[in-house]
Amino acid sequence: MEAGMPDMLAKTRRLMELSGIAEMPFGLVYAKERPEGFGPKDGELLNRVREEQGLVDWKKMRETFSCLVCKLWLARKKRTAAWISREQCGCMGGGYYTGLYSPWMRTIEDYVSTGNPVMGMEGERYMPSPASMRAFLAECSPPPAPAPYCVLKPLDCFSGEERPLVVAFFGRFEALCGLFSLAVFATGDAHAVQTPFGAGCSSLVGWPLVYQARGELKAVLGGFDPSQRRGMKPDEMSFACPAALYAKMLACLEESALPRQAGQILRTRARASRRAWGEEA
């Protein structure tokens, strides 16, 4: 993004005000050093080479499993960072969808689909076959991570020269309507918001980076992964914007529908939603 962080934060707070979003969004950044916050414990090193050599201890992997979305849930409560790394990714999908390793591990093809009886693995049944999962992974192939740590932290915790590669909001339907409208207004594209299949971390990191690498200005509406729901509020969704799209959204904010009557409707509805959930008096 060309704008400095103070300007981006000011416009982000204005966007939150106009859309009725109560929680500061998180930004994605890659770092050379381990950040403060919530991340996986030391566990099994996961990558295709070790898998093909039969070196992965799957029992240890299960015992030390860690979900990035669940770590992010803790980070949201404490307003700090969630992270994973090449050495500590905690999950086959998390390491791949954040670009920390490639190619994907073959075992994930079975795990997300029909399972592997030989390994005693029951499949999640989110894809109908290993082949369909393999095709999905080839399509959702994010660019290689530029540093060892993938970090998600509140936008107002960015400092210095840091700039987010992706900005991710969390909210319920009423609050996210404004973001959807603004993304379409910023691009003139009726398909500016996509809902592709994938794990929670693919909606927050993988798919936004894939679209940006393709030169496509697409936001990603996420939260459809049943396994990630334990890391989100009831009825809550995510809305992740690649940096280039987010810059366009902020640039046209005051010309959009949000400062007008439609925005007032959304703000009123968003407050009503928070009251219904006991989050606002």
Write down the pLDDT at residue 1.
Answer: 39
User: Is residue 258 within 8 Å of 19, Cβ to Cβ?
Assistant: yes
User: Is residue 130 within 8 Å of 115, Cβ to Cβ?
Assistant: no
Write down the pLDDT at residue 161.
Answer: 85
Q: Is 257 within a domain?
A: yes
Q: Which residue has 């798919």 as its token pair? A: 207
Mean pLDDT of successive 10-residue stretches along the chain, which has 281 residues: 80 96 97 94 90 92 92 97 93 94 94 83 92 96 96 94 95 94 98 97 97 96 94 96 97 96 93 90 67
Retrieve residue 162's tokens: 């840091």
Q: Is 31 within a domain?
A: no
Q: Which residue has 């969390």 as its token pair? A: 170
Q: Strand (E) positions, 140-253? A: 149-154, 166-172, 193-194, 219-222, 236-242
Q: What's the predicted TM-score (pTM) here?
A: 0.94
Q: Is 90 within a domain?
A: no
Write down the pLDDT at residue 118.
Answer: 63
Q: Where are the alpha helices (DSSP H) in 118-172?
A: 130-139
Write down the pLDDT at residue 3.
Answer: 61
Report the distance separating Cα 218 and Cα 220, nearest Å: 7
Q: Is 12 within a domain?
A: yes
Q: Is 92 within a domain?
A: no
Q: In terms of residue numbers, what domain contains 190?
A: 5-26+162-275
Report the distance separating Cα 17 and Cα 105, nearest Å: 43
Q: Is 11 within a domain?
A: yes
Phi (first) and psi of residue 12, to 5 degrees: -65, -45
Sign of the CA dihedral running 201, 203, 207, 208:
negative
Q: Name the nearest CA neighbour of 153 among 239, 26, 36.
A: 26
Sign of the CA dihedral running 248, 251, 255, 257:
positive
Report the distance separating Cα 267 and Cα 271, nearest Å: 6
Report the distance separating Cα 202 and Cα 97, nearest Å: 5
Q: Is 267 within a domain?
A: yes
Q: Is 248 within a domain?
A: yes
Q: Name the nearest CA neighbour of 179 among 241, 223, 222, 272.
A: 241
DSSP letter at 25?
Answer: P
Task: Please state the domain count of the chain.
Answer: 1
- Angle ∠(104,110,116) on CA atoms, nearest 5: 135
